Structure formats: C-alpha cells, structure tokens
Chains A and B, each alone.
Chain A
Amino acid sequence: MTQMRLHLTFPEERVREPIIYEICRKFPVIVNIRRADISLDSGWVELEMDGELADIERTVSYLRDRGVHVDPLEKSILEG
C-alpha cells in the first residue's frame, strides 16, 4: 500500500460534480479529505489517498481527464 497526499483544484465547470465519489466507486483507493474550501464557482480539496501505487496513478489520471488539477500537497515544488 502507498499513500499520497494531494491538492486537488476544481475549476468552475467541475465544482458541482461528485468527482470524489466517482473515484471511490471506480478505483480501489481510500480517500480521506483533510482540508477543503469549496465555493459556487471554484474550490480545492487536500486529501490522503491510500492504495496500490498503480491504482493511485490511474485515479490521478482519471482526475486529470475530468479537468481536476492535481498537485502534491506542496503544490508547485519546481522553482525557477
């Protein structure tokens, strides 16, 4: 089992969709939301995701395909 800590940003067109629910149904990952701030037109969620590495990778790909921006908890680490 692997755990990743992720920062998800939801764009306006996705913020009202149950995407967290979807990933829990579609993939064998355990999601634990630790911090979030959601408004009518945008939002972010910080969570822990536990599962096999390959399943987490598939989940992250799915989130990106659905228009969710996925970063590590630290957000942009790569600096100029």
Chain B
Amino acid sequence: MNSQSAPHQESERTLAEGGTASSPKESKIKGLKCRECGRLYPAVAIHICEFCFGPLEVDYDYTAIGRRISRRSIEEGPQSLWRYHELLPVTGTPTVGLHAGMTPLIHAKRLGKLLGLDNLYLKNDTVNHPTLSFKDRVVAVAMTRARELGFDTVACASTGNLANSVSAHAASVGMKCFVFIPHDLEAGKILGNLIYNPTVVAVRGNYDDVNRLCSEIGGEYPWAFVNINIRPYYAEGSKSLAFETAEQLGWRIPDQVVVPIASGSLLTKIRKGFQEFEKLGLVSPNDRLKVNGAQAEGCSPVYRAFVSGKNHLVPVKPNTIAKSLAIGNPADGFYSLDVVFKSGGAIAAASDPEIVEGMKILAETEGVFAETAGGVTIASLRKLCAEGRIGRKDLTVAYITGNGLKTMEALAGALPDPVSIDPTLASFRKTVNPTN
C-alpha cells in the first residue's frame, strides 16, 4: 500500500472473500449515516458528516440481516462476540480479536442481597480476552474493519485500557501501531503497552494538547485511528455487551441496566444492541428497560447535566481515581444523556472513597476484582437502589468493564495489612485465633 494514499475503498475482492458474512449482492451495511441530518455516505474510514458536522453511524440493512439471523444461527456461532457478526460492521471473515467477548454473566446473589436486589446480574468484562477490559470488543471490531478497508497501521490516544487493547491486537496480526499518551503518564501504564512493541509517542503537553494533536494526525496520516476515523465501526463493538446479556439471560431484555459513562458511547450502544434484538424478533420487547449511567464525581459532565435537567454538557477537567472514565468532554455525552432521559433511567456519581468501597464490596461479595470503573458502577448502583430508582424485583444488569489488576494504585492504604505472625502454631493461635 502506498503510505500516502488513504486506503479506504473496499474492494470487490475483499467482499467476495467474506466467509461468514453477507454476500456482496446482499451486503448488510448500507453505508454510514449522519446521526443529525441523516445524510448517507459510503462505508469508508470517515466519521463526521461533511454537511452538518454530525457524527456518522453505520446504517444496516435490517431486512437482509433478518433473513439470515436467528437464535439458532447465533447459538451455533463461535464462543466470542463474533457469534453476532451479522449485527457488527464487518463484511468479511473476522480477522482480529477472535476470542473477545462471551464473558460471564454472573447472578450476583450476595451483592444483590446487600443492595436489596433479588435479580442482580453482573456482566463481567474483567476477564475479556486478551487485555481484560471491554475495549477488547470495540478494538476487535475496529481493527477487523480497518483491515477490510486496507489499512496496515492502527493508532489510538489512550492512558490505559484502549492503548493496551490496540497494542495487543495489532501485535497479534502484525499491524503497525502508534499509541499517543501524555508525557507524564505513570511508568507502569506505559510498560503495559510497550510489552506489545507498538510505537508509543509521549506528547509534551496536557490532555487538551494531546487531543488536538491526535485530531490533526488523524486527518493527516493514512492510519486507522480507532476512535477517530474508524469510530463509527469501533463504537458498534459495544453492542455485543447487550447481545450477550440478552442471550445469557435466556433471550430476555433486562428491566434495568447500569453502565459506566466515559465517552458515553458504551451506554448508547448497549441500548442500541437491545433495540436491534427487539427489531429482529430475537427477544420480546421490554418497554420497561431503564438505562442508567454511572460517573465518577471527579469527572461527571453527564451526571451534572442530568441533575440540572439540561441537555448542554459543560466540559470538566478530570480529577478522579477512575482514570478509565476520565473524559472531560465526552463525544457521546449528549447522546447518552438523551438515552437515559428517554428510557426513564437516571445517572449517579461516586466520589473516590465510594469508588474504592464499590470495588471492595464487589470483590468481597462476588469474588470479582474490578478496576476503578467497576467501583464507579457498583457505587452508583448502590445509590440508585437507595434512591428507589431500581426495585427489588427488577431484572438488573450492571456492567463491569475492566480488571482490578490494572488500577492497583487506587487501593493503596484502603485495605488492611496482612496479619503478621511468627512461624509457630502458638503465634497463629494467639494472633489469628480462628475459632473466634
């Protein structure tokens, strides 16, 4: 590929080679569509409507998909998110992230008892493959699509989970990879990326500077920047969380979901995933579904708009231990707020101590060690229960999106020291006294 040409035109050859997906004569992807003005575009590597600057979304041919998809076709698919390939924006055989998704849905009886919920479930993406966060879903889809579009280089700007996932997936298929980070990022987080041997670029500047530089680079270089020019495809990967939830619940839509909000895309796509299953007759509609959001108080532009009843988000400077949710001006903030309002849901926010407490009660009751974002979700779930927004009998699903091993520093000083004893039975009896 000529490095100076934008490799975004899908060839007939690529389509024709699609093994598990639609035939070229009946492609499931009609193109991209502006979420604001509805203008249509070809399904290439673009993300903004040139007419009104609205964001672009994948436009599917649900009639064609409906002819091919069924509960049975899904159940016979692979044990990964690719069992839902008909509803994901790729046209050929998946090539990246073949083991992502199909994470456990845990009936959280002990946590539910603590919170006063009889039907609480946890969607546990702390064990997603390969990098232990829900980002493995969106990156699997984004990079498969990027390869279909002819890209050989992938990029992202991230301080954590996204960088891990992009780096690991790029390594797994031999793509060139650029990761942009702020120059003052902690060493441990950089190492977690360097092990996959991407080019890590530390930008001397603040978060705003990194954002602006990446926007410029995204427009300048013929790369698949997963959350810029590949964003319409990337975001669709989050729908798989809804698909799996519905299937694992026995083809049902829950009554309540609690979703952490960073960019806001995850929340909107979980709602979209349930709607697609309803539209295709794979589940019975559940008009009672309330979509609830969870933010960290130290970075809560969507929560603040929710409590003020406004639809304008005021950008904030993040100041929270929940780094994976620390997005000061979320791209899909307005849309996530809209979903919450329209579903009759709510948004709660958790302080840093409440986040740690959320992590602890999740671990102590269910044996799940979540990163700080999981603490935000559980702390927010707890508040929503206390406010009576979630009822005891509601079928409730909380989304735990990343593994606690990634944010160990958040627990410094928050846990008791080990019990220290001499290597004698007498010391054990005296100090631990297990019969008491």
Contact = CB atoms under 8 A, between A and B. Distances in A.
B162 A74 contact: no
A76 to B, nearest CB: 4
Contact of A80 (B53, B159, B216, B231): B159
B212 A79 contact: no
Contacts of B328: 76
Given A9-B314, A69-B329, A78 B211 contact: yes
A69 B331 CA distance: 14
A30 B315 CA distance: 25
A73 B331 CA distance: 9
A9 B53 contact: no
B214 A34 contact: no
B210 A75 contact: no
A34 B325 contact: no
Interface string A1-41: 00011010101000000000000000000000011010100
B217 to A, nearest CB: 10
Contacts of A42: 310, 312, 314
Contacts of B54: 35
Nearest to A12: B314
Nearest to B212: A72
Contacts of A46: 53
A20 to B, nearest CB: 16
B156 A71 contact: no
Nearest to A69: B315
Interface residues of A, number: 25
B325 A80 contact: yes
Interface in B280-337: 310, 312-315, 323-331, 333
A37 to B, nearest CB: 7
B262 A71 contact: no
B329 A80 contact: no
Contact of B182 (A73, A78, A80): A78
Interface in A38-80: 39, 42-44, 46, 69-80
A74 B219 CA distance: 12
Nearest to A53: B216
B262 A80 contact: yes
18 contacts: A9-B315, A35-B53, A42-B310, A71-B329, A72-B215, A74-B331, A75-B329, A75-B331, A75-B333, A77-B211, A78-B182, A78-B210, A79-B159, A80-B159, A80-B160, A80-B323, A80-B324, A80-B373
Interface of B: 36, 47-48, 52-54, 156-162, 180, 182, 207-208, 210-212, 214-216, 218, 227-228, 231, 262-263, 310, 312-315, 323-331, 333, 373
Interface of A: 4-5, 7, 9, 11, 34-35, 37, 39, 42-44, 46, 69-80
Q: Which 10 A-B pairs have CB atoms at the shortest separation, nearest pair first?
A: A80-B324, A72-B215, A42-B312, A75-B329, A76-B327, A78-B157, A80-B160, A69-B315, A79-B162, A34-B53
